Amino acid sequence: MPVIAPVPAARPARIPNQRDGAEDGVAAGTSVDHLTETYRAHYRSLLGLAALLLDDTASCEDVVQEAFIRVHSARKRVRDPEKTLAYLRQTVVNLSRSALRRRILGLKLLSKPMPDMASAEEGAYDQLERDSLIKAMKGLQRRQREVLVLRYFADMTEAQVAEALGISLGSVKAYGSRGIAALRLAMEAPA
């Protein structure tokens, strides 16, 4: 969807100040008629301002429309008609910031997809295998168990295992080989 680029507009005709018919303390310049004229004169420039701050046309249009609605609701507070456009611009900027904040928060709170998980049967089978492996590991000699845990579960090299256990490199290889053979037998044996 294309983004509306700000169009450098020729200076709009100045909206005359009509303070004569003020009612209830509201200046005539902040009337609905004044806002309608401001809308006609400045809608495209406000849309261009929103386009600089946001990334899609629909959001820009929504922000500008909302800005006019809010200024209309608060027109009694804008007593000087010269400040109506400034008030509208500030409202467009603030609403654009809010829209961006909501998007960022939405992206942060988006649920992350769950990783591929095994079925219940596969999970149960994996748990049974883990249990039998732990049982078989407990049945090994202490040194064989230590070598296998450090070598394969802690991902250490044979030299690192030898240094950690204070034994020779040949002993690490021997304990590892015998431990794997014993595990293979224990895992293949019927329960």
For residues 33-53, average pLDDT: 88
Residues 27, 20: Cα–Cα separation, whole Å = 8
Pinpoint the residues of the chain covered by CATH 1.10.1740: 29-106
Domain limits, CATH 1.10.10.10, in the chain: 126-190
- Whether residue 3 is predicted with pLDDT greater than 80 in this model: the reply is no
What distance in Å separates the CA atoms of residue 68 and residue 166, rounded to the nearest whole number?
79
pLDDT at 133: 86
Q: What is the pLDDT of residues 44-99, one digit of tens each?
A: 999 989 988 888 888 999 999 999 999 888 878 777 878 888 889 999 999 999 99
The pTM assigned to this predicted structure is 0.45
According to DSSP, residue 114 is labeled P
For residues 39 and 8, the model is more confident at: 39
As assigned by CATH, the class of the 126-190 domain is mainly alpha
Check: CATH 1.10.1060 for 29-106?
Answer: no
Residue 140 CB burial class (10 angstroms; 0-12, 13-18, ≥19): buried
Can you give the pLDDT at residue 172? 94
Q: Convert the pLDDT of each residue in 11-32 to its tens digit.
A: 444 544 444 444 444 444 467 8
